[in-house]
Structure 1
């Protein structure tokens, strides 16, 4: 019970505060967009820059850790994609969007604060390693799958598509923050103390602002229809992904305790709003993606509690 009260509920209360503020009209849509733009374009990239610039890369980038997490992520995609296509007979493009909801965990806004509250800041190295390739890898995969689905397997001018995908991914503020962090880390160039102080102040504002804004974003996504498909997508994200990740990390790669915690907690997070944004970008599967993000986020209060009890 202490894990629920002390670790999980504070994070979700902050999301709930933003949700309630939006519901009561105190936090309008332009305000929500402004807070999220500040968090995603400025504060969170600075947080990632700060963390990766100081990361011990040789320790953080454990192949077993990365393979465990991403094998679980692609298992979640496969489960949701196959279920949408074969069981619920959704169009191929819808199935890709629904699969993406089982693929893309909220590693940054939920995974980081919950891991930190449960195990301390020293336990976050594995989280940052996972996050550093999360958006670039999964967005590239999702876009390529969607283009394949739209063209029924005949992707024309693949080099041009790959260039466009690469350009779109590498210009995202979060990715720029990650790349700048790697540049400082690998070069060994020290950050001046006055600049480091400014970075610290900005970085500390990122997670609280983003969680409050996330509550306002979730208020927009009312659950609608397709209950069985939504339940399947939630299961892919909250059960299949962490179960595969935990099984590989614990029984196959036999990761140390810190890495096992990072892999499992991060894999157990609900889909981020990126899952809806991906569906919205292509205009397919939007209702299922939006409802999955909202419902899985609420359910993850209890599923995360379960995974925390399983971990040492």
Structure 2
């Protein structure tokens, strides 16, 4: 019950976003504009601030980093194993396989703060920030391979990658972040979480998706159950305990990011199929996250 109550406020924002799209804010341009604002301005500000101000201890950070990278590679490999179940074209499959390893950072930051306060936010911000480039490299490389887009160009101009790398350079360079700038970035980051969760709800779609149901089920099982189990094993093997261990398992259990849909649409992929998977993983995560949080 305590784990469910932890999830309730943030998933209530997702439900509210879905309701608002249906009954009040249903103009065609409104939610795409919100997503654009979050994706290009608010969320990069959150990532830059988290990376620029994080206490990066190589001895403690490296095991968490390698665990996160192991999870990303595991999700990628497990998605490939399920390809025979999909019944999709190469481009459609490349669009959907990102749903096995991409993660919803809006939900991540919100839940990490509820679970472990500022330490949880900083740890999750660092983990998500360092994994965003890999998530985008994996996804963009596959979509570009089967589409008509240049992979290096897409990665180089991705705002999440730019913000993460810039924040890391700022941190490692020992540059101070003025109080006024830090306060400004924090306000943008706070707005990113709330608006991001509302946008997740507004993006829920249940239209018809091509391919076999078995393939979609496999991707959902990988994302919500197999990756958290792998995270549990990796974390123990690498000696993670306390906040880093909890954050790693939570990170692995997150539903798929709505940015997967945006990327698929921008690169001419299977938008409807990705939207269906995002919607299903977001709703099912209420159950799966409750289960994993209860074990922590």
Q: 2:112–2:120: 8 Å Cα contact kept in structure 1? A: yes
Q: Deviations over 1:9-38 (max 9, x none)?
A: 100101111110101143423121222222
Give, in whole Å, the separation in 1 of the partners of 2:285 and 2:171.
34
Query: Partner residue of 2:247?
Result: 262
For these two proteins, the number of residue pairs brought into alignment is 294
Give the alignment's TM-score, normalised by structure 1: 0.85
Q: 1:59 to 1:132 in 2, by over 3 A?
A: same
**1:1-312 maps to which residues of 2 (within 5 A)?**
1-5=1-5, 7-59=6-58, 62-83=61-82, 85-106=83-104, 108-148=105-145, 164-218=150-204, 221-225=205-209, 226-250=212-236, 252-311=237-296
SS of 2:29's equivalent?
Answer: helix
Give, in whole Å, the separation in 2 of the partners of 1:308 and 1:148.
37
Structure 1 residue runs of 5 or longer lacking an equivalent are: 152-160
Give, in whole Å, the separation in 1 of the partners of 2:179 and 2:141.
43
- State which structure, 1 or 2, has the greater radius of gyration over its C-alpha atoms: 1
Structure 2 residue runs of 5 or longer lacking an equivalent are: none
Deviation for aligned residue 1:103: 1.7
Give, in whole Å, the separation in 2 of the partners of 1:195 and 1:278.
30
Structure 1 vs Structure 2 CA RMSD = 2.3
Give, in whole Å, the separation in 1 of the partners of 2:96 and 2:226.
14
Deviation for aligned residue 1:273: 1.4
Give the alignment's TM-score, normalised by structure 2: 0.89
Give, in whole Å, the separation in 2 of the partners of 1:142 and 1:273.
13
Q: 1:18–1:27: 8 Å Cα contact kept in structure 2? A: no
Deviation for aligned residue 1:264: 0.7
Give, in whole Å, the separation in 2 of the partners of 1:146 and 1:193.
41
